[in-house]
A and B are shown apart, each in its own frame.
Chain A
Amino acid sequence: MNPVKIPLSKIRLNEGQVDWLPRNPRQWTKEQLDRLIDSIRETPMLLEARGLIVYPYGDTFVVIGGNMRLSALTLMGEKDAPCYVLPSDMDREKVKEIVLKDNGDYGLWNQTMLSRDWADLPLEKWGVESIEVKDYSEKNKEIHVGEFSENITLKLKYDAPDAAFVSARLGDDRRETLLKALGYED
């Protein structure tokens, strides 16, 4: 299969508009998006090699793989994007699998090799974690990117009694109490 150029005006983010397809389960901050824009400008060849994966929907296409890149290309003022168009009769479960697999990560970075052989590259800027420590807070994070501000909601899930305790201890200004308890200095 080879990708074809499709005008951005025809491509839609997967926001759950297809009734059998849940919305794209990925999120990003403005800063991450800016990094991706820099990266696409720096290595346009990779965009050609890794076209968006889209699914025909009415007279438009919904992004199956590459929602963040679509957002980046739109901000960059690009007119079109290389796309792999999935057949409209593709098995629905398969389409969903592709959403997940296009972002799945099977191997790991080899930290020794990264620091020894690849340190001349701005790895962190490209989303390469320098140390792979398990960050439990990832699953508690919800990013809201507004027009002027960007906030992150920390979501804590408790059984009712624990929730009541935490809620009472945190008081009215949860943010302030939490930051103070952890010794945050502005």
Chain B
Amino acid sequence: MKTENIPLSLIQPNDGQIPGLPRNPRSWSVRELSRLKKSIQETPEMLELRPPLVYEYEGKYVAVGGNMRLAVLQETGDIQDIPCIVIPQDTPLRKLKEIAIKDNAKFGEWDYDALADEWNEFDLADYGINDFSEDQEDKPAGDGNASPVDDRVTIEIELSPDEFLFVSGKFREMGETPEAAVLKILNYPL
């Protein structure tokens, strides 16, 4: 498979026009769209490294992977041709479906400690990284010299994967952060 430059006018979003391939199951808000737009403007190299995946259909190309990026580019309208990977015409429908899903699937997960310790120069929300900080109550108070982050103590509890799954499920049911949930469970005097 080779990357080719294809006129943007020939590329269509996957609206379910190919029989047997359901329409792209992704949604986005205006805010997310503008974040992605900013990201593309800042790092246009990503478009070369991760070109949309398209499939030729009735003289046009349907985006199997990269529908949101195309929405951004079509909105800004300042690019004529974009690099795309053309999926071979003889690819079975089942494979097209696999690609549509897997191109957005995440097999691993963020290491939030590493992000906080070593990648904190970046505003993670701008990078499409789920940021939990807006839900945290512990913003610096604004006076004094001590940093609240530095004063914090970490309590570690080793769990098996099954136990962790159980515990995090309970926290989710409670609708609390793990810190708040544990305080509650242990009957913290309010």
Contacts and interface: CB of A to CB of B under 8 A. Distances in A.
Given A45-B1, A106-B32, A156-B182, A178 B103 contact: no
Given A25-B110, A152-B161, A101 B102 contact: no
Contacts of A154: 156-159, 164, 167, 178
Nearest to B120: A22
A175 B49 contact: no
B170 interface: yes
Contacts of A133: 172
Contact of A136 (B1, B172, B185): B172
A169 B39 CA distance: 46
Nearest to B125: A104
Instruction: Identify whether the interface residues of B are mostly helix, strand, loop, or mixed.
Output: mixed
Interface of A: 1-2, 16, 22-29, 31-33, 35-36, 39, 42-43, 45-46, 48-50, 53, 65, 68, 84, 94, 96-98, 100-110, 113-114, 116-118, 121, 123, 126-128, 133-143, 150-160, 162-163, 165-167, 169-170, 174-175, 178-179, 181-182, 184
Interface of B: 1-3, 22-23, 25-28, 32-33, 35-36, 39, 42-43, 45-46, 48-50, 53, 65, 68, 83, 85, 87, 91, 95, 97-99, 101-115, 118-119, 122, 124, 127-130, 132, 135, 138, 148, 151-161, 163-164, 166-168, 170-172, 176-179, 182-183, 185-188
